[in-house]
Chain A
Amino acid sequence: MVEEIGSTADGNIILNVGPQHPATHGVLHLVITINGETIQKVEPHLGYIHRSIEKMCESLTYRQFIYVTSRMDYLSSHINNHACALCVEKGLQIEVPLRAQVIRVLMDELTRIASHELWWGAMAMDLGAFTPFFHAFREREAINDIMEETCGARLTMNYMVPGGVMQDIHPNFQKRVKEFIALFKSKVSEYNELVTGNIIFQNRMKGVGNLSAADAISFGCTGPTARGSGVSCDIRKLYPYEIYDTINFEEILETEGDSFARYMVRVREMSQSISIIEQLIDNIPEGDFQAKTKAVLKLPKGEFYQRVETARGDFGVYIVSEGGTTPYRIKFRSPGFSNLSALDHMARGSKLGDLVAMMGTLDLVIPDIDR
């Protein structure tokens, strides 16, 4: 049961944050027990945007269910779609043309930058700086325009299909991406001048929300959240899919485990994604953008699991097939769900005002958590 606001017998105060609160970035409800300014306990109450996607997918075909997954982590929709397409391809043993693989990786990395941009702007806004949000959206808008041209949508792209991508890239794609790279490189120093080097900002982040490497693993934290604690967990490196094993990029690790470390991981990751895009943009091979597949897909009886690295961490698709045209059971392992479970552990004993800095660096996307 959700406790109402009030004080308990031992002098603690129960405080509700959300479900409608600007700092929770969506409909997340936290019931916080505080003693004075000190947090005793944080209890997340989820489900305000639970759509039972797993159950819904049980009555959707292997071509249809991919579109629902764009609505989970809407900032990594390409990567969610990618995981589902890969999982279906694994079951059907479809060989994806090299051109499609390169396009997919390019899209994934553009999505990752767009997601980190939004996070960066929102994070600064959480801590009281409004201007960075506009700076972040200036670059993010350029990515959205590229997406709109090629995929036809700006948020829920639904571009990945089993066997490749839905249609070939727009003739302008390479030119626009190169323009974006130039724009990003000219602006990224502003990020560091405006926010990263700002002493007020650093003081709000350093030493806040400490998470040790052992705890990060135990809580199942992944993505930049765990890499800020020095845990190597980049699926692109550890269990490479598509052409990631042929690309030269660095897995960003910071060891402090505080909010500032997680912040730095994401900021540095954007430059790595740019480097991946630079390696690929002039080397998109000619060929088909989609493998030939049957009109009706039937996965053989069995179980298929695919892990990918979204902007938030280790996203998993687990399909249990009975041999039909729809999955018997599907499970989406969402990175946000596990990352959020560590919040209580991180927040205990800190001040209430620091909770916003912790939540900001967890990069929570609520539809991804609720599914």
Chain B
Amino acid sequence: MTIEALKEKITALFPAVTFEEGSQWPTVLVEPTDWHRMAEVLRQNESFCFDYLFCLTCIDWKTHLTMVYHLDSTIYRHNLVVKVKLEKVNPAIETVSDIWQTANFHEREVYEMFGVNFLNHPDLRLLILPDGWEGKNPLLKDFEDPINMIKL
């Protein structure tokens, strides 16, 4: 499917989404409440078949957080980037680990590094950071640790 056809098809199914221009891959902006339903369609719908979530991460923009999902289809080999804007205070979003199992570990990483709460995640615990680190999220821009300096 061409990029234009992909965009048209997504717009037809989800009229509320907007597209971001100027990136390497088509980039779609989604509301957090619509994301899980859309993820299911992107995975299941035969004309999309985005079965491979190759990157899941978060960006701290100081005023808000942005979740970024990079999708690939092993059948059609087309790509899509999904961005979801989250509140800075108590960020929360539905998990997609029931759709792509790789999201399980990646969401745990984002949970500890950015403090994003993934609703309905089967096992939302610290993965990389040691026990007792809850509440301090190292990859947030305002994180400072005078003892273990990360910034140079």
Residues of A within 8 A of B (CB): 1-2, 44-47, 50, 52, 54-56, 58-60, 90, 215, 217-220, 222, 231-233, 238, 302-305, 307, 314, 316, 318, 320, 328-329, 331, 333, 337-338, 340-342, 345, 370
Contacts and interface: CB of A to CB of B under 8 A. Distances in A.
Contact of B52 (A45, A46, A220): A220
A80 to B, nearest CB: 16
B121 interface: no
A326 to B, nearest CB: 10
B150 to A, nearest CB: 5
B59 interface: yes
Interface string B113-152: 0000000000000011111000000110001000000111
Contacts of A219: 101-102
B77 A331 contact: no
Interface centre among A219, A238, A307, A370 (most CB of B within 10 A): A219
B74 A232 contact: yes
Interface in B66-85: 68, 70, 74, 77
Interface residues of B, number: 34
Contacts of A304: 24
21 contacts: A44-B127, A55-B150, A56-B151, A217-B52, A219-B102, A220-B102, A233-B74, A238-B77, A303-B23, A305-B24, A305-B25, A318-B70, A328-B59, A329-B60, A331-B55, A333-B54, A337-B105, A337-B109, A338-B102, A341-B102, A341-B104
A218 B102 contact: yes
Interface centre among B54, B59, B60, B131 (most CB of A within 10 A): B54
Contacts of A90: 24
Interface in B24-43: 24-25
B128 A55 contact: no
A320 B59 contact: yes
B102 A331 contact: no
Nearest to B139: A55
A302 to B, nearest CB: 6
Contacts of A232: 74
B64 to A, nearest CB: 13
Contact of A55 (B54, B55, B105, B138): B138
A47 B130 contact: yes
B102 A56 contact: no
